[in-house]
Amino acid sequence: MRVVEWIERKRRGGHLSGEEITQLIRGYVAGDIPDYQMSALLMAIVFQGMDEQEITSLTLAMADSGDRLTYPKNLGFLVDKHSTGGVGDKTSIALMPWLAAMGVPIAKMSGRGLGHTGGTIDKLESIPGFRTELNQAEFVQQVEAIGIALAGQSGNLAPADKMLYALRDVTGTVASLPLIASSIMSKKLASGADGIVLDVKVGEGAFMQNEADAQVLARQMVQIGTQSGKKVVALLSRMDEPLGYAVGNALEVKEAIDTLRGCGPDDFTELCYALGIEMMLLAGLTKSPSEARHKMKEAIENGQALEKMRQWIDAQGGIGDVVIEPEKILPRAPFVLTVHAPQSGTIEKIHALAAGEIAMRLGAGRATKTDKIDVRTGLVFLHKVGAELQADQPLVEIHARSEQEALAVQNDVLHLFEWGNHTSKIPPSIVIGRVVAEVEDVDTQLLATAQQAMKQAYVPYSRFPVGAALRLASGRIISGCNVENASYGLTNCAERSAIFRFVSEIGVEHDRIVAIAVAGDTEEAIAPCGACRQVMVEFCSPDTPVYLSNLQGKRVQTSVGELLPGSFGSSQLRSHSRDC
């Protein structure tokens, strides 16, 4: 491998090919590329950035560096949700059973917390007996049985990302949008969901401090997922104050339960609605946002969402009755100190980052990966930004292991608040932006791969090279070219070469084709022959998109069903066998 050459090229702002990036990731995971060379490359990426194809190639290489989770087809369209992290973010705990109650299958892998942002796994483990370590068989079986499972991330899920993140953490290369986007999406692709809804936090308590950077990150992640054959939507949500009222593991679980009982905080409830609507639309369970919202509201009012949470907790070894009596079952801090308002006025700001850091000092978070957390501790805010208070009104509760620890942070808690004399206003929307795939971005990489495949064509007789590329549900891209023979009837077209390669190298049991691109040097966009159309019908659904192009930039988008309407297929063979 020419690692030094690749580092120098990226340092000058040059482009790395998909094959070069794949070799780099494989070599690093195998131990063939040392840390000092990978560190140099990462720093070059921080300064020079990466283009769209490089970011997608890096993501796929990391996703392919370990296990990729697969699920039985009978589970239907699986939708996952990811948050970039914030203070008081317990969204998955409430939203996952809420959606599962309405028929959206949930199979989610989550992580632990580090620093001021809490981890979903830590929060769930505050429920007595709740088990987060499930093997893949248990995980899939539970989704089949009750429609929901949430577990800790597999040790071999995207191991390249774990290695690279550890290196970035100690080399000053964390703050790079291409590296952040590829890190997040590599784990999401390896987790095997069909659709992904991203919650990109913006503000003081989030990694992305301003909306412009959050928009760039969201766009990059949506683009990666879309080019990998996934349906992806990103929402930008405010993180200028803690989400909801509770910050701390058991405290946040209780707040999630309260939300499914219909009495959760307004900002948190509204975020759950916004994300849930997007997930239901991706899964195809509703046709409009208003219909999705109505169904979500019904699931709260009739108790189905809360009952699904109870089933889920029971299935993973926890005490399901915690949804009925959270105050009795969840662990509670030995000492609770109520801090009162130091003055009259309106709360103009609550510093989210500092709130998360105080909760961490109380024991609710980790400063290092080896730290143990105390799930009982944290903060409960009694008011939100915009509230008008009188001096000495209760302001916030400190849940601590001792009176001494509570008193040690009391002054810092008071400094979380900024006060004014303005009359309260209607709070701004929790969701401040939405990012979806641009139509043109969907097929660009696939068409480029098809054109590249033309160069490999064996066409000594016709001199007519054709290339084809398949995008698979896993995000992989498989290419093929036409291969001629002196006995003309034995010639294989590019489309069939690519499909047969997919069947032989990967197999229909492990993946599926979600898009096809074909390229040729023709006056109009090239058209597949009849035999290739029949083969497409065999291995693709009728609505699978097919992109046809020539080298002059002409493109036609169609589908497998449109290319061969009224096709002969396996269903007719089964019908004939029944008649016999």
Q: From CA 360, how far away is CA 379, in angstroms rounded?
A: 10
Contact between 124 and 246 (Cβ < 8 Å)? no
483 is in an annotated binding site: yes
pLDDT value at residue 280: 95
Per-residue CA distances from 54 to 158, 229, 493 (Å)? 18, 17, 29
Entry field: residues in the chain: 580
Q: From CA 372, how far away is CA 263, in angstroms rounded?
A: 31
pLDDT value at residue 114: 53
481 is in an annotated binding site: no
0.75 cut: is pTM over it? Answer: yes
Among 495, 509, 523, 524, the one annotated catalytic: 495
For the chain, the distance separating the N- and C-terminal CA atoms, rounded to the nearest angstrom, is: 60
Residue 518 is encoded by which pair of tokens?
A: 């074909």
Contact between 536 and 546 (Cβ < 8 Å)? yes
Beta-sheet strand order (sheet of 246-247): 246-247, 378-381, 394-400, 335-340
Contact between 157 and 186 (Cβ < 8 Å)? no
pLDDT value at residue 238: 93
- Return the CATH number of the domain spanning residue range 443-579: 3.40.140.10
Contacts of 303 (CB under 8 A, 6+ apart): none
Domain 333-420: CATH superfamily is Pyrimidine nucleoside phosphorylase-like, C-terminal domain (3.90.1170.30)
Residue 9 is encoded by which pair of tokens?
A: 């090229």
Contact between 220 and 210 (Cβ < 8 Å)? no
Catalytic (active site) residue 495: yes
pLDDT value at residue 75: 83
pLDDT value at residue 116: 58
Per-residue CA distances from 489 to 483, 484, 486, 496 (Å)? 11, 9, 9, 14
Burial per residue of 516-547, b for 16 or more beta-carbon CB atoms within 10 angstroms, e otherwise: bbbbbebeebbebeeebbbbbbebbeeebbbb
Q: Would you write out the chain's pLDDT as a tens digit for each of its 580 residues?
A: 689 999 999 999 999 988 899 999 999 999 999 999 999 999 999 999 998 889 988 999 999 998 888 888 788 888 999 998 889 999 999 999 999 999 999 888 887 765 556 688 899 999 999 999 888 788 889 999 999 999 887 668 889 998 998 898 788 888 789 999 999 899 889 888 889 999 999 998 888 888 988 999 999 999 888 878 788 999 999 999 999 999 999 999 999 999 999 999 999 999 999 999 999 999 999 989 999 999 999 999 999 999 999 999 999 999 999 999 999 999 999 999 999 999 999 999 999 999 999 999 999 887 766 778 899 999 999 999 999 999 999 999 999 999 999 999 999 999 999 999 877 666 778 999 999 886 544 467 788 899 999 999 999 999 999 999 998 876 778 999 999 999 988 999 999 999 999 999 888 887 789 899 999 999 888 999 999 999 999 999 888 889 999 988 888 888 898 999 887 876 666 555 444 3
pLDDT value at residue 578: 44
Alpha-carbon torsion 305, 290, 252, 180, what sign? positive
165 is in an annotated binding site: no
pLDDT value at residue 181: 92
411 is in an annotated binding site: no
pLDDT value at residue 257: 98
488 is in an annotated binding site: yes
Q: From CA 450, how far away is CA 469, in angstroms rounded?
A: 5
pLDDT value at residue 458: 96
529 is in an annotated binding site: yes
Which residues on adjacent β-strands are paired with residue 565?
none
CATH architecture of 3-49: Up-down Bundle (1.20)
DSSP 64: T
Which residue pairs, CB below 8 angstroms and at least 24 apart, start in 462-466? Answer: 464/520, 464/521, 465/520, 465/521, 466/493, 466/494, 466/518, 466/519, 466/520, 466/526
Which residues on adjacent β-strands are paired with residue 468?
480, 518
Helix (H, G, I), strand (E, B) or coil at 416: coil
Contact between 550 and 519 (Cβ < 8 Å)? yes
pLDDT value at residue 437: 82
DSSP 364: I
Which residues on adjacent β-strands are paired with residue 258?
none
Q: From CA 549, how far away is CA 488, in angstroms rounded?
A: 25
Per-residue CA distances from 150 to 147, 310, 469 (Å)? 11, 14, 35
Alpha helices in 303-417 (DSSP H): 304-315, 326-329, 352-359, 403-414
532 is in an annotated binding site: yes
DSSP 440: G
Per-residue CA distances from 305 to 151, 542, 552 (Å)? 19, 35, 54
Per-residue CA distances from 70 to 144, 230, 320, 363, 512 (Å)? 13, 14, 28, 37, 11
Domain parsing of the chain, residue ranges: 3-49, 333-420, 443-579
Same fold, 3-49 and 333-420: no
Residue 325 is encoded by which pair of tokens?
A: 């009596």
509 is in an annotated binding site: no
